[in-house]
Amino acid sequence: MITQEIEKAVQILRNGGLVAFPTETVYGLGADACNEAALQKVFKAKNRPAQHPLIVHIARFEQVTDWALEIPPQAIKLADAFWPGPLTLIFKKKPEVSTIVTGGQASIGLRIPKHEIAQRLLQAFNSGIAAPSANQFTRVSPTHSEAVLEELGDQVDYLLEGGRCELGLESTIIDMSGSKPTLLRPGGIHKQAIEDVLGARLLQPTTMTPRAPGMHLLHYAPRTITHLLSYQALTEQVNKLKAQDLPAILLTRSPLSPNKLSTIKQINMPTQAKAYARELYHTLRSADKEGYKCILIEDVPDGVEWDAIRDRLHKASCRR
Ligand code: TXA
Ligand code: MG
């Protein structure tokens, strides 16, 4: 059955339609990366500003040269180590690559995903599929198919069902287009693993780095007001909640003294980073749906395996 579904999805992409599909990170909203009208539909469906570039997904390494002007030796090392997988590499783009997909920039983001359905789709399509996360601009990425439909409804022409995404957070993005590899977004592969392969430290983005993802503050955010707090501050805050903050939901990793208030729900988040990442967006989305007035989240540890989670929590809680 899946073969027929893939064939249908390919047909829709070839006709300029939008296909949502699962990857190991989050669901993507796919369009033919060579079809400018289809790319425009992606920006419109997401309400995404035109200067925010899309990642082009490909099936295999040989396709990199269809999009990238040059492949630095360090990028080959990263591709060997982490592709297919949750890593996006930014290259200088070839002149013929549409500036619609690159948001007007001279660089192009490429990723080879690992998920079986994504792989089969890309192999059958045999060209690049531009796919941002399948959510409204600034909102939480979908990690299951129902969430895609909640976010985009009938703007999606076809959806490939793939169950829950294994990782639950987006890919790591490394800019390979400058003189030194730069970490633009922490994600599915942590910084230390990448530095070990490079044998060098990654640069951190500066305000001069062109359009590093989520540089404007609110991003990856639930609709409900969200606060990120240390354990101590969180316990204090719980006692100070006012009527307008209730019902509230707490996402904690440490046990809190049981609260007797029925208007405060406590979710025990996993203590391991991988399991926490898999649950996070799903939990935030449920909190939005269940109508809580505020979300209080206990801060996460310092280790590199928590970097992507910490980044998303900061962005989700950074507003107004
Ligand atoms: O895991 C993922 O990366 C998912 C799945 C679907 O592959 N995709 C995803 O796409 O998260 P999106 O569009 O939601 O986030 C991609 C980020 C954007 O913030 C964009 O600014 C950045 O990648 N990006 C893409 N191309 C870029 C480029 N040429 N230069 C700098 N940043 C780029
Ligand atoms: Mg996104």
| Nearest atom of ligand 1 to the alpha carbon of 48 | 13
Q: How far is the CA of 51 from the centre of ligand 1 (A)?
A: 12
Task: Give the mean pLDDT of the chain.
Answer: 94
SS3 17: coil
- Per the CB < 8 A criterion, the answer to whether 308 and 188 are in contact is yes
Which of 83, 90, 173 has the most ligand 1 atoms within 8 A of CB, as the residue to mutate? Answer: 173
pLDDT exceeds 80 at position 258: no
pLDDT exceeds 60 at position 263: yes
Residue nearest to atom 19 of ligand 1 (CA): 213
* pLDDT for the residue numbered 262: 77
Q: How far is the CA of 101 from the centre of ligand 1 (A)?
A: 11
* pLDDT for the residue numbered 178: 95
* pLDDT for the residue numbered 139: 94
Which of 170, 208, 281 has the most ligand 1 atoms within 8 A of CB, as the residue to mutate? Answer: 170
* pLDDT for the residue numbered 220: 87
Q: How far is the CA of 54 from the centre of ligand 2 (A)?
A: 9
Three-class SS string for 99-118? CCCCCCCCEEEEECCCCHHH
Residue nearest to atom 12 of ligand 1 (CA): 132
Pocket lining: 23 vs ligand 1, CB cutoff 6 Å: yes
Pocket lining: 90 vs ligand 1, CB cutoff 6 Å: yes
What is the band of 255 on the pLDDT scale with cuts at 50, 70, 90? confident
What is the band of 260 on the pLDDT scale with cuts at 50, 70, 90? low
Task: Give pTM, 2 decimals.
Answer: 0.95
Pocket lining: 133 vs ligand 1, CB cutoff 6 Å: yes
Ligand positioned closest to the Cα atom of 68: 1
Q: What is the mean pLDDT of residues 139-168?
A: 97
Give per-residue pLDDT as tens, 59-79: 999 999 999 999 999 999 999
- Beta strand ranges found along 135-203 (DSSP E): 158-159, 172-175, 182-185
Phi-psi region of 259 (alpha: psi -120 to 50; beta: other; left: phi over 0): beta
Q: How far is the CA of 132 from the centre of ligand 1 (A)?
A: 6
How many percent of the chain have pLDDT more than 90? 88
Give per-residue pLDDT as tens, 45-60: 999 999 999 999 999 9
Point out the least confidently predicted range of 141-150, 185-194, 252-261. 252-261
What is the band of 214 on the pLDDT scale with cuts at 50, 70, 90? low
Ligand positioned closest to the Cα atom of 22: 1
Give per-residue pLDDT as tens, 72-108: 999 999 999 999 999 999 999 999 999 999 999 999 9
How many percent of the chain have pLDDT more than 70? 94
96 CB-near residues (< 8 Å, 6+ apart): none
Return the amino acid letter for 19. Answer: V
User: How many residues are there in the chain?
Assistant: 320
Q: How far is the CA of 294 from the centre of ligand 2 (A)?
A: 23
For 2, phi and psi rounded to 5 degrees? -60, -35
Q: How far is the CA of 310 from the centre of ligand 1 (A)?
A: 18
Ligand positioned closest to the Cα atom of 85: 1
Q: What is the mean pLDDT of residues 250-266?
A: 82
Output 243 or 30, whichever has higher pLDDT.
30
* pLDDT for the residue numbered 320: 42
Q: How far is the CA of 232 from the centre of ligand 2 (A)?
A: 32
What is the band of 213 on the pLDDT scale with cuts at 50, 70, 90? low
